[in-house]
């Protein structure tokens, strides 16, 4: 599977340093049961040190669960998740996860960032830069839970980036957002990649996958059925399921 | 954390409200408190001596138990045998007769047992039991309750056989028992002072009074500092001495409610 | 007999007269019960949050006990505190019996289980929402509990209110450990009990109405706080 380790072209152009010593990631025989149902079934995968990996797959393929298992939020029934010699639990503090529905604290926008900074003992001075970075500086004093969907997700991103994570997990971050918001969020993610964060993105949006992905992991039936550079995956999906997914067909 | 500081602050403000140095705590029967005697009497004493007096008014039985636990400097109750036992056990320095009034039996205007006007209490009680009329008892080991039990003992009736039926033991204070008794139309034995100052009489009136057996003696006992080192012995002694002095006795005798004298001083000269 | 109208008249007259004794009793009621509420929250909220966020053997039994303790009879609490604070008891040397401090202690014991059990429920619901995010941040238990308590602060106001309501309305515990001493430990409920035992039912009921107005005022205050919080999406 050597060819499956992809180096993102943008990352190489910008000369970003490889994310960290958490990569490469090696997953072997990952099996996960949830509520008596087998969600991941002996999944194998390897991810290289840089770039943006997009996980695609039909509904119920286990994409979100894979993300959580990689991050250490879900305990697998069997298999190995190996962050370059480190377990997910050990790697967790150097990673961040942005949820599809952002979990914002019942505090002001600024306080949501402050909370993360304080929990890591980071200087509060970073907060204004972060809010500026995601275009929320003017809303710093507002209650976070009154933000629009797009603003909320940008705040969640700023919060995730506050700790300068080596790995950034994104679970459908732009689901049900308007195109302008999607655009801004993708821009923020791209900049995170350029700064060296290893991004692993789950999405249903094929267009987003085309725009963002350096490589594609296609999940079907709890396994990786295809892993290829985006430049090869989209013109020539190898499996029937992937082809159907990309063209909007039904996968049975 | 702010919350904790606030709590500490509030506690700190609450603590100094413990009784001040020259003050005493009286464990008292309820009748002397409920009839308003203390409200009238204590300011006179404080004026004369500078000693503050705080009163916990509970049934005589509980007052004695509290004093046995050293939770009081002076005992002022009305159950002579129990008081003498208290002193005999070394719990009090000495017991002095203070004042008396009397017990009465009150009943509804229609007087279902036909006891109104009787002067002997035991026949009246027998008549009430015989008629199956309701009788509300304190049932709380208070001075009044002890007295009532001793009166029944002199009759042919054992009221405990009617317990829950016609003999209703409220297990409560005098006022609560009067409220309950009046509410259910029962006869009630009460001290006269409480009755005179009681405000929820409705159609009730005194039906039996005047028997020598209904005599109600109050006594005062300073709690012994030997058994209870925490007591304010000097102030307690001063209070007991003032109550039994000419000045104290005169003040007690002068206390009136609705033009009636409630307590009759009878401390030994 | 008396009617409610008469009692209302007494209540209004009492409040309007600005009677010094009444004000003293009202102030002590508020001070004792508010202090007890704060102390009970200081104990109960962290305990509730801790139980809400942890999974351990026997947790079910702990929940049952916590919920059962919400029904602690005030008289029993009063008796237990009396036995400890009595001069003959283990803490008698403190000389706290028949002081407002004793009443605060008794009411704190009475309502701490209420604040713990109710906050456990509130925090558990919120934790269900925050849990993954907090785990992702690798927060310690202490950080998690603190964050949840802070974010649930407006919901917890209602919990505190439930405790305060129970404290300010109970008579059994404060009667025993406070002794209903005039100008020292007399609060609204013991004053009501006293007037009832004197047969002065209109005055007792009037005091009761004053107590209810008091509780109404505290509730209205907290309610308006919560409304603001809801508007700001903080609750």
Q: What is the pLDDT of residue A250?
A: 55
Q: Please state, in angstroms and rounded to a whole number, the distance separating the CA atoms of residues C182 and A158.
A: 61
Helices (H), chain B: 2-14, 30-34, 37-49, 60-68, 80-88, 121-131, 143-153, 174-184, 192-197, 233-244, 246-253
| Average pLDDT over all residues of chain C | 92
Asked if residue B168 has pLDDT above 80, the reply is yes
Please give, rounded to a whole number of angstroms, the shortest distance from the CA of C229 to a CA of chain A.
Answer: 10
> Concatenated DSSP letters for B185-203?
T-EEEEEHHHHHH-S--TT
B238: tokens are 């001063």
Distance CA B192, CA B78 (A): 13
Contact call for residues A62 and A31 (beta carbons, < 8 A)? no
d(CA C139, CA A120): 9
Q: How does pLDDT run across B106-119, given as a tens digit for each residue?
A: 999 999 999 999 99
Contact yes or no for C151 and A71 at CB 8 A: no
Query: What mean pLDDT is predicted for residues A194-210?
Result: 92
Per-residue model confidence (pLDDT) at position C159: 95
**Torsions phi, psi for A81 (to 5 deg):** -115, 115
Residue B117 · residue B38 · CB < 8 Å? no
- Report the distance separating Cα A226 and Cα A241, nearest Å: 10
Name the helix (H) or strand (E) containing C37.
Answer: helix C20-53
pLDDT score for C5? 81
CATH number belonging to domain C19-231: 1.10.3720.10
Q: Is C131 on the interface with B (CB under 8 A)?
A: no
pLDDT at A11 over 70: no
Nearest to A115 among C129, C147, C233 (CB): C147
pLDDT (average), residues C174-187: 93
DSSP B264: E
Per-residue pLDDT for C229 more than 60? Answer: yes
Q: Answer whether B56 touches C (CB < 8 Å).
A: yes
Q: What is the pLDDT of residue C231?
A: 85
Residue A66 in tokens? 């894979």
What is the predicted pLDDT for the residue at A249?
61
In this prediction, residue A221 carries a pLDDT of: 87
Residue C116 has pLDDT above 90, yes or no: yes
Please answer yes or no on whether B69 and C89 come within 8 Å at the CB atom: yes
**In contact, C177 and C81? CB cutoff 8 Å:** yes
Name beta bridge partners: A143: A108
> For B214-254, how does the pLDDT look when each residue is reduced to its tens digit (9 = 90+)?
999 999 999 999 999 999 999 999 999 999 999 999 999 99
What percent of chain A is predicted at pLDDT more than 70? 90
pLDDT for residue A18 is more than 80: no
Average confidence (pLDDT) over B64-75: 95
- What's the DSSP call for residue A143? B
Report the alpha-carbon distance of residue A50 to residue A52 in Å, rounded: 7
What is d(CA C8, CA C15) in angstroms, rounded to the nearest whole number?
A: 11
- Which domains are seen in chain B, by residue range? 2-100+217-265 (3.40.190.10), 102-214 (3.40.190.10)
Å from C144 to nearest chain A CA?
10
CA-based nearest distance B114→chain C, Å = 25
Q: What percent of chain C has pLDDT over 90?
A: 77
Weakest-pLDDT range from A15-29, A175-189, B77-91, C74-88: A15-29
Mean pLDDT throughout A128-157? 94
Mean pLDDT of C189-205: 90
Instruction: Tell me what the mean pLDDT of segment B48-57 comes to.
Output: 94
Q: CA triplet A48, A49, A55: central angle to 5 degrees? A: 55
Give the residue, A20 or C183, on which the prediction is more confident: C183
The Cα–Cα gap between B132 and B162 comes to 9
Neighbors of chain A by Cβ distance (3+ pairs < 8 Å): C
B17 in contact with C at a CB cutoff of 8 Å?
A: yes
Among C78, C179, C196, most B C-beta atoms within 10 A, so best to mutate, is C179
Residue C232's closest CA among A147, A11, A250, A187?
Answer: A147
Closest CA to C146 of C166, C165, C125, C123: C123
CA B164 to chain CA centroid, nearest Å: 25
What pLDDT, on the 0 to 100 scale, is given for residue C11?
83
Angle, CA B151 vertex, CA B147 and CA B157 arms, to 5°: 135
| Coil, helix or strand at residue C77 | helix
The whole-number average pLDDT for the span C12-30 is 88
Q: Do C232 and A107 touch (CB under 8 A)?
A: no
Pairing of strands B187-191, A95-98: unpaired
CA distance C217 to C169: 14
pLDDT at C232: 83
User: How far, in Å, CA of B175 to CA of B199, rounded?
Assistant: 10
Q: Is B179 on the interface with C (CB under 8 A)?
A: yes
Q: Residue B21: its pLDDT value, please? A: 62
CA pair distance B225, B91, nearest whole angstrom: 9
* C59 exposure class (CB count in 10 Å sphere: 0-12, 13-18, 19+): exposed
Using CB atoms, pick whichever of B7, B70, B71 lies closest to residue C38. Answer: B7
- What predicted TM-score, i.e. pTM, was given to this entire model? 0.84
Question: Count of CB atoms within 10 A of residue C170's CB?
Answer: 24
Long-range contacts of A132-138 (CB under 8 A, 24+ apart): A133/A158, A133/A161, A133/A188, A133/A191, A134/A158, A134/A184, A134/A188, A135/A184, A136/A109
pLDDT in tens, B5-46: 544 544 444 444 444 568 999 999 988 998 999 999 999 999
Residue C134: Cβ-neighbour burial (10 angstroms; 0-12, 13-18, 19+): buried
Q: Which residue in A has a C-alpha nearest to residue C151's C-alpha?
A: A106
As a whole number, mean pLDDT of residues B258-269 equals 92
Residue of B200, B223, B232, B257 to mutate, interface with C, max C Cβ within 10 Å: B200
pLDDT confidence tier of residue A5, bands split at 50, 70 and 90: very low
Could you tell me the pLDDT band of residue A20, with boundaries at 50, 70 and 90? low
Average per-residue pLDDT for chain B: 90
Does the beta-carbon distance from C200 to B200 stay under 8 Å?
A: yes
Whole-number pLDDT of residue B38: 95
Q: How far is CA C164 from CA C76, C158, C174, in A?
A: 19, 10, 14
With a cut of 50, say whether residue A36 has pLDDT above it: yes
Q: How many CA atoms lie within 13 A of B225 on its CB side?
A: 8
**What is the structure's pLDDT at B7?**
46
Whether A13 has a pLDDT exceeding 60, the answer reads no
Q: Chain A neighbours among C 75-134 (CB < 8 Å)?
A: 129-130, 132-133
Q: Return the closest-CA partner of residue A134 out of A108, A111, A153, A114.
A: A153
A51-107 pLDDT, tens digit each = 999 999 988 888 999 999 999 999 999 999 999 999 999 999 999 999 988 899 999
Quick one: average pLDDT of B166-189? 92
Beta bridge partners of B24: B53
**Section C12-21 average pLDDT:** 84
Which DSSP helix (H) or strand (E) runs through A110?
helix A109-119
Q: What is the pLDDT of residue A64?
A: 92
Q: Is the pLDDT of residue A157 over 50?
A: yes
| pLDDT score at A129 | 92
Superfamily for A2-246? P-loop containing nucleotide triphosphate hydrolases (3.40.50.300)
- Whether A236 shows a pLDDT value over 50: the answer reads yes
Structural domain spans, chain C? 19-231
End-to-end CA distance of chain C: 48
Peptide bond connecting A24 to the previous residue in cis, omega within 30 degrees of 0: yes
Cα C206 to Cα C4: distance, rounded to the nearest angstrom: 9
Verify whether the Cβ–Cβ distance C86 to B4 is below 8 Å: no
Average pLDDT (A141-170) is 94
pLDDT at C188: 95
């Amino acid at each position: 599977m050597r060819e499956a380790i992809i180096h993102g072209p943008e990352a190489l152009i910008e000369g970003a340093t490889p994310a960290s010593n958490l990569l490469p990631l090696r997953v072997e025989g990952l099996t996960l049961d949830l509520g008596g149902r087998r969600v991941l079934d002996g999944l194998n995968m390897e991810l290289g040190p840089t770039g943006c990996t997009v996980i695609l797959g039909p509904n119920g393929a286990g994409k979100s669960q894979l993300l959580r298992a990689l991050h250490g939020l879900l305990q697998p029934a069997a298999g190995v998740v190996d962050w370059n010699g480190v377990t997910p639990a050990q790697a967790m503090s150097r990673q961040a996860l942005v949820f599809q529905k952002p979990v914002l604290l019942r505090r002001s926008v600024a306080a949501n960032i402050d909370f993360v900074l304080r929990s890591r003992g980071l200087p509060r001075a970073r907060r204004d830069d972060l809010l500026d970075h995601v275009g929320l500086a003017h809303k710093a004093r507002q209650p976070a839970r009154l933000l629009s969907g797009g603003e909320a997700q940008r705040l969640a991103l700023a919060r995730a980036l506050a700790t300068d994570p080596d790995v950034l997990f994104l679970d459908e971050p732009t689901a049900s957002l308007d195109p302008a918001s999607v655009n801004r969020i993708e821009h923020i993610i791209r900049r995170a990649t350029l700064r060296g964060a290893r991004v692993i993105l789950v999405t249903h949006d094929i267009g987003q996958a085309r725009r963002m992905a350096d490589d594609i992991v296609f999940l079907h039936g709890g396994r990786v059925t295809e892993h290829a550079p985006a430049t090869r995956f989209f013109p020539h999906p190898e499996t029937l399921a992937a082809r159907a997914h990309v063209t909007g067909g039904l996968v049975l | 954390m702010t919350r904790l500081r606030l709590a500490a602050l509030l506690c700190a403000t609450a603590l100094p409200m413990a009784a001040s140095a020259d003050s005493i705590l009286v464990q008292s029967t309820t009748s002397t408190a409920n009839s308003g005697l203390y409200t009238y009497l204590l300011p006179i004493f404080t004026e004369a001596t500078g000693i503050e007096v705080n009163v916990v008014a509970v049934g005589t039985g509980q007052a004695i138990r509290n004093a046995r636990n050293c939770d009081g400097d002076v005992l002022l109750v009305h159950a002579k045998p129990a008081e003498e036992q208290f002193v005999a056990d070394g719990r009090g320095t000495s017991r002095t007769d203070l004042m008396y009034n009397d017990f009465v039996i009150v009943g509804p205007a229609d007087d279902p047992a036909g006891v109104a006007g009787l002067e002997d209490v035991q026949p009246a009680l027998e008549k009430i039991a015989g008629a199956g009329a309701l009788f509300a008892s304190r049932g709380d080991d208070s001075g009044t309750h002890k007295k009532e039990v001793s009166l029944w003992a002199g009759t042919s009736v054992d009221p405990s056989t009617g317990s829950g039926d016609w003999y209703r033991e409220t297990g409560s204070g005098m006022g609560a028992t009067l409220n309950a008794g009046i509410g259910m139309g029962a006869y009630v034995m009460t001290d006269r002072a409480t009755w005179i100052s009681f405000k929820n009489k409705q159609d009730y009136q005194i039906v039996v009074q005047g028997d020598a057996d209904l005599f109600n003696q109050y006594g005062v006992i300073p709690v012994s500092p030997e058994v209870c080192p925490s007591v304010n012995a000097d102030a307690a002694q001063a209070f007991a001495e003032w109550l039994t002095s000419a000045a104290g006795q005169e003040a007690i005798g002068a206390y009136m409610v609705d033009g009636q004298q409630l307590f009759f001083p009878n401390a030994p000269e | 007999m008396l009617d409610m109208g008469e009692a209302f008249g007494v209540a209004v007259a009492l409040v309007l007269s600005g009677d010094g004794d009444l004000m003293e009793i009202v102030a002590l009621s508020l001070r004792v019960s508010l202090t007890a509420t704060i102390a009970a929250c200081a104990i109960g909220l962290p305990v509730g949050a801790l139980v809400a966020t942890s999974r351990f053997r026997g947790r079910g039994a702990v929940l049952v006990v916590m919920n059962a303790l919400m029904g602690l009879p005030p008289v029993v609490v009063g008796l237990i505190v009396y036995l400890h604070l009595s001069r003959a008891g283990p803490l008698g040397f403190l000389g706290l019996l028949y002081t407002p401090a004793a009443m605060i202690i008794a009411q704190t014991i009475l309502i701490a289980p209420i604040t713990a059990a109710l906050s456990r429920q509130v925090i558990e619901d919120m934790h269900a929402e925050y849990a993954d995010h907090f785990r992702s941040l690798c927060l310690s238990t202490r950080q998690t509990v603190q964050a949840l308590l802070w974010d649930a602060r407006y919901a917890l106001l209602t919990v505190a209110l439930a405790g305060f309501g129970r404290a300010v309305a109970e008579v059994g515990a404060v009667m025993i450990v406070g002794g209903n001493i005039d100008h020292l430990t007399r609060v609204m409920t013991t004053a009501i009990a006293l007037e009832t035992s004197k047969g002065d039912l209109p005055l007792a009921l009037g005091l009761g109405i004053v107590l209810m107005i008091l509780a109404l005022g505290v509730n209205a205050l907290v309610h308006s706080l919560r409304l603001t919080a809801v508007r700001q999406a903080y609750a």
